[in-house]
């Protein structure tokens, strides 16, 4: 292995990157656009849930109950129908996602010291809104009960059971806090794989690959020369994404920088390796693109990036172990949100080491075969 | 060691630029190269001819050490290229029909890259660079992207890049395909210049007129060498036959007639004219052939006896080989 030749290959690769301003811009802009897009979409959806309030009681108490909902910031009253029958159309059209129904006589029942039932209707077509919405509704009602008890006894120490759910690790239940660490990994994978998948196949089409392997350049030198420049670029991308996530979206970082660094470095190698493999196996650039989509979609669906793995059917769950992004997400979320260390994350980290070894081994073999063909 | 080497009766020759014995390469059930023997003396321009898919490129890949043969021996510049490609590579050059330059790098950057690959020291590189820029007529255009150069310049630059380390042996795989005749001519002048300085050239081509530029030729067809020798020796293959050039207005119809006519061994298009090959035993001269053509309704036919070209020999060899392999199993060796 010759360092001089590797340096030469890296120099050549950077020169070529510089001549492709679109690619460079894409590389640095894509993560920012994705981050901001995902970041805002995710945060807007869960706050300000469009809510319909059917107040059949029209009393002081019913208005207090309503304001305990709106004060939380999670519910935004968009309609005040006169009758419960009008709710169906509001929910069907999606004008409202949550409805609060306060029956007539609620104030009277409470004044007599009895339990007053109120109705909460949640649109279950979006499971995330349903679970988050009903959770917040329960909190709002609990808050209302607490304030009433406090008013009666004159003490803030309310008697009775406070049934409020305590959400650990992510107290505000702000999905952005788990989304940003996940996005870091996903963006890294998408951009690295799409560039790497074109890298070798382009040289194959132009004949320069063939030419280089008649010279003293060895396959391992070629691979290192190909991977190193993009790995460096990935680090730059990563810093941009992480900085925006932490400074703009104020995602708290509770973990160790080293855990994140090791996890990302491993995942970066896996992504570059996978892209390289696609590029080595494909004969044309179109083929490489197809192969990329073929890998990307199951990765996004099965990794837990969008849908929680726990909510997948049991028959599907074992498949998720074959998706490297799954482990990267575990490491990043664990580290960012929970502050988990190396011991707690040993399993996913070692799994990624395994993936990296297998993928790079395959890449070296594929390079040899590509040349020999 | 040279089990297959006994085919020729002579073992592989380490003093030759290339010496190959019993070289075989298979892809699955397909035999791309079928036990070939080759000797390329040093300092010669060796033409390796054959139709597309006959095994030319596969042979070059084995000889440059990028593909391993199934069996056989290949000595390149005296080294076993299969076992030690790294000993051979610094001393050989390779240029394909794709002119594999980095199109998004400049002329200078391309040269710098290949100079670095062969670890040329700066003084040598400066001299080589000057020489190549002059040879390729690219002085003053060092900072242009190679993508913007037209074909002739790209071809000459590719030759420069492939020979920047002054190899003893240069492989050229269809170097002139897609290049206009004038540029092709200039390119051959450059090849002669290299040969004049003692570089051995191993050239594949399917342009038959280029074959006569070579010192020695070998024809490969369906993975086997069907003829080998100097252009004159190759032409002598047709010494028992005569070739007639037939010019006629309706060439398509006349070709159909010639293909089935009695006593015509072979008929095919050659440029705008037709070539008819007749065994000397049954040959009655150009006049007789013309009379037969006129009688068949081709009143404007002009028939001239011509010297067989390399192409004539080639067509003949291929059809002979086809007759042997397709017609019967007992192959004449």
Could you tell me which residues come within 8 angstroms of residue A205 by beta carbon, excluding any fewer than 6 positions away? A284, A285
pLDDT for res A111: 80
Low-confidence residues in chain A, pLDDT < 50 = 44-45, 155-171
User: Do B302 and B318 belong together in one domain?
Assistant: yes
User: Do B178 and B39 belong together in one domain?
Assistant: yes
Nearest to A230 by CA among A183, A259, A273, A260: A273
Domain count, chain B: 2
User: Do B134 and B189 belong together in one domain?
Assistant: yes
Q: Does B169 fall in a domain?
A: yes
Tell me if chain B has a CB within 8 Å of the CB of A246. no
> Chain A neighbours among B 163-182 (CB < 8 Å)?
171
Tell me: the pLDDT tens digits for B126-169?
A: 999 999 999 988 999 999 999 999 888 898 999 999 999 999 99
Please name the residue of chain B whose CA is at the shortest distance from the CA of residue A206: B100
Chain B residues touching residue A4 (CB < 8 angstroms): 116, 119
pLDDT for res A246: 79
User: Do B239 and B225 belong together in one domain?
Assistant: no
- Binary contact (B118, A216; C-beta < 8 A): yes
End-of-domain residue from the set B204, B229, B254: B229
Tell me: the pLDDT tens digits for B235-285?
A: 887 778 888 999 998 888 899 899 888 888 888 888 788 989 888 888 888
Indicate whether this model's pTM tops 0.90.
no
pLDDT for res B112: 95
Provide the residue range defining the domain that includes B317. Answer: 235-327
pLDDT for res B6: 47
pLDDT for res A128: 67
Please name the residue of chain A whose CA is at the shortest distance from the CA of residue B32: A373
- Which of A169-178, B25-34, B189-198, B286-295 is predicted least confidently? A169-178
End-of-domain residue from the set B201, B229, B257: B229
pLDDT for res A158: 39
User: Do B182 and B204 belong together in one domain?
Assistant: yes
User: Do B289 and B175 belong together in one domain?
Assistant: no
User: Do B297 and B322 belong together in one domain?
Assistant: yes
User: Do B151 and B94 belong together in one domain?
Assistant: yes
User: Do B308 and B165 belong together in one domain?
Assistant: no
Please classify residue B228 by burial: count the beta carbons closer than 10 Å to its beta carbon, then call 0-12 exposed, 13-18 middle and 19+ buried: middle
Q: Domain with B68 in it: what CATH number?
A: 3.40.50.300
Of B67, B93, B116, the CB nearest to A8: B116
Please name the residue of chain B whose CA is at the shortest distance from the CA of residue A372: B67
Chain B residues touching residue A214 (CB < 8 angstroms): 64-66, 89, 92-94, 171
Q: Domain with B307 in it: what CATH number?
A: 3.30.70.100
pLDDT for res A101: 86
ipTM of model: 0.78
- Binary contact (A12, B103; C-beta < 8 A): no
- Binary contact (A216, B102; C-beta < 8 A): no
- Encode chain B in three state secondary structure: CCCHHHHCCCCCCCCCCEEEEEEEEEECCEEEEEEEEEEECCCCEEEEECCCCCCHHHHHHHHCCCCCCCEEEEEECCEECCCCHHHHHHHEEEEECCCCCCCCCEHHHHHHHHHHHCCCCHHHHHHHHHHHHHHCCCCCCCCCEHHHCCHHHHHHHHHHHHCCCCCCEEEEECCCCCCCHHHHHHHHHHHHHHHHCCCEEEEEECCHHHHCCCCEEEEEECCEEEEEECHHHHHHHHCCEEEEEEECCCHHHHHHHHHHCCCCCEEEEECCEEEEEEEHHHCCCHHHHHHHHHHCCCCCCEEEEECCCHHHHHHHHHHHHHHHHHHCCCCCC
Please name the residue that has the structure tokens 């001299």.
B127
Res B1 pLDDT > 50: no
Report the alpha-carbon distance of residue B81 to residue B96 in Å, rounded. 19
In percent, how much of chain B has pLDDT > 90?
42
pLDDT for res A284: 87
Report the alpha-carbon distance of residue A314 to residue A326 in Å, rounded. 16
Q: Does B333 fall in a domain?
A: no
* A363 within 8 A of A269, measured Cβ to Cβ: no
Domains of chain A as residue ranges with CATH: 3-42+174-372 (no CATH), 47-153 (3.40.1710.10)
User: Do B115 and B217 belong together in one domain?
Assistant: yes
pLDDT for res A198: 83
User: Do B140 and B220 belong together in one domain?
Assistant: yes
- Which of A248-252, B195-199, B218-222, B249-253 is predicted least confidently? A248-252
pLDDT for res B8: 54
- Binary contact (A8, B104; C-beta < 8 A): no
- Which of A22, A23, A207, A214 would you mutate first to test chain B, the one with the most B CBs within 10 A? A214
pLDDT for res A132: 75
pLDDT for res B262: 85
User: Do B166 and B293 belong together in one domain?
Assistant: no
- Smallest CA–CA distance, residue A283 to chain B, in Å, is 16
pLDDT for res A152: 65
pLDDT for res B144: 93
Res B2 pLDDT > 80: no
- Binary contact (B64, A214; C-beta < 8 A): yes
Tell me if chain B has a CB within 8 Å of the CB of A211. yes
End-of-domain residue from the set B229, B252, B270: B229
pLDDT for res B133: 94
Report the alpha-carbon distance of residue B117 to residue B111 in Å, rounded. 10
pLDDT for res B176: 83
Please name the residue of chain B whose CA is at the shortest distance from the CA of residue A10: B113
Q: Does B88 fall in a domain?
A: yes
């Amino acid at each position: 292995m010759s360092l001089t030749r590797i340096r030469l290959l890296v120099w050549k690769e950077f020169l070529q990157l510089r001549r492709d301003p679109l690619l460079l811009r894409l590389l640095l802009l894509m993560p920012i656009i994705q981050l901001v897009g995902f970041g805002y979409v995710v945060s807007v959806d869960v706050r300000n849930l469009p809510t319909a309030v059917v107040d059949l009681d029209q009393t002081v108490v019913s208005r207090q109950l309503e304001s305990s909902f709106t004060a939380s910031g999670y519910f935004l009253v968009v309609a005040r129908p006169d009758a419960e029958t009008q709710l169906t159309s509001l929910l069907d059209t999606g004008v409202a996602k949550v409805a609060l129904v306060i029956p007539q006589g609620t104030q009277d029942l409470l004044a007599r010291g009895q339990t007053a039932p109120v109705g909460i209707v949640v649109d279950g077509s979006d499971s995330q809104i349903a679970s988050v919405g009903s959770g917040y509704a329960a909190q709002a009602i609990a808050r209302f009960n607490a304030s009433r008890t406090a008013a009666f006894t004159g003490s803030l120490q309310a008697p009775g059971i406070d049934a409020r759910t305590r959400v650990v690790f992510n107290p505000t239940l702000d999905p952005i806090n788990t989304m940003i660490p996940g996005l870091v990994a996903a963006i890294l994978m998408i951009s690295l794989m799409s560039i790497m998948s074109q890298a070798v196949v382009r040289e194959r089409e132009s004949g320069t690959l063939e030419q280089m392997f008649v010279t003293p350049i060895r396959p391992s030198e070629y691979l290192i020369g190909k991977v190193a420049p993009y790995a460096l670029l990935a680090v730059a991308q990563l810093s941009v994404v992480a900085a925006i996530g932490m400074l703009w979206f104020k995602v708290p970082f509770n973990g160790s920088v080293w855990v994140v660094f090791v996890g990302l470095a491993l995942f970066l190698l896996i992504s570059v390796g996978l892209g390289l493999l696609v590029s080595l196996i494909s004969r044309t650039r179109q083929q490489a693109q197809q192969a990329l989509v073929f890998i990307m979609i199951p990765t996004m669906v099965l990794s837990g990036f969008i849908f929680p793995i726990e909510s997948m059917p049991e028959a599907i769950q074992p498949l998720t172990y074959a998706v490297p992004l799954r482990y990267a997400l575990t490491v990043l979320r664990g580290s960012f949100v929970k502050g988990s260390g190396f011991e707690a994350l040993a399993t996913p980290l070692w799994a990624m080491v395994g993936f990296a070894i297998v993928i790079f081994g395959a890449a070296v073999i594929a390079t040899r075969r590509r040349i020999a063909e | 060691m040279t089990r297959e080497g006994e085919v020729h009766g002579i073992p592989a020759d380490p003093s030759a630029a290339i010496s190959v014995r019993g070289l075989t390469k298979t892809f699955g059930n397909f035999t791309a190269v079928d036990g070939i023997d080759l000797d390329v003396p040093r300092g010669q321009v060796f033409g390796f001819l054959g139709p597309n898919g006959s095994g030319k490129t596969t042979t070059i890949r084995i000889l440059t050490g990028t593909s391993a043969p199934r069996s056989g021996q290949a000595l390149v510049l005296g080294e076993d290229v299969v076992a030690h490609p790294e000993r051979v590579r610094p001393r050989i050059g390779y240029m394909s029909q794709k002119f594999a330059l980095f199109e998004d790098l400049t002329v200078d950057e391309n040269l710098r890259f290949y100079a670095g690959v062969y670890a040329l020291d700066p003084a040598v590189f400066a001299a080589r660079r000057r020489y190549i820029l002059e040879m390729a007529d690219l002085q003053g255009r060092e900072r242009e992207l190679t993508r913007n150069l037209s074909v002739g310049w790209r071809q000459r630059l590719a030759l420069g890049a492939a020979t920047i380390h002054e190899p003893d042996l240069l492989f050229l795989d269809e170097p002139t395909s897609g290049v206009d005749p004038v540029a092709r001519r200039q390119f051959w002048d450059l090849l002669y210049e290299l040969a004049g300085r003692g570089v051995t050239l191993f050239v594949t081509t399917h342009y038959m007129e280029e074959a006569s530029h070579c010192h020695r030729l070998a024809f490969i067809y369906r993975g086997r060498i069907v003829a080998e020798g100097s252009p004159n020796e190759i032409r002598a293959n047709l010494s028992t036959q005569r070739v007639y050039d037939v010019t006629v207005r309706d060439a398509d119809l006349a070709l159909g007639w010639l293909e089935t006519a009695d006593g015509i061994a072979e008929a095919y298009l050659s440029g705008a004219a037709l070539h008819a090959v007749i065994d000397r035993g049954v040959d009655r001269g150009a006049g007789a052939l013309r009379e037969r053509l006129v009688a068949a309704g081709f009143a404007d036919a002009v028939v001239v006896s011509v010297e067989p070209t390399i192409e004539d020999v080639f067509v003949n060899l291929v059809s002979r080989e086809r007759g042997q392999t397709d017609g019967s199993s007992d192959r004449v060796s």
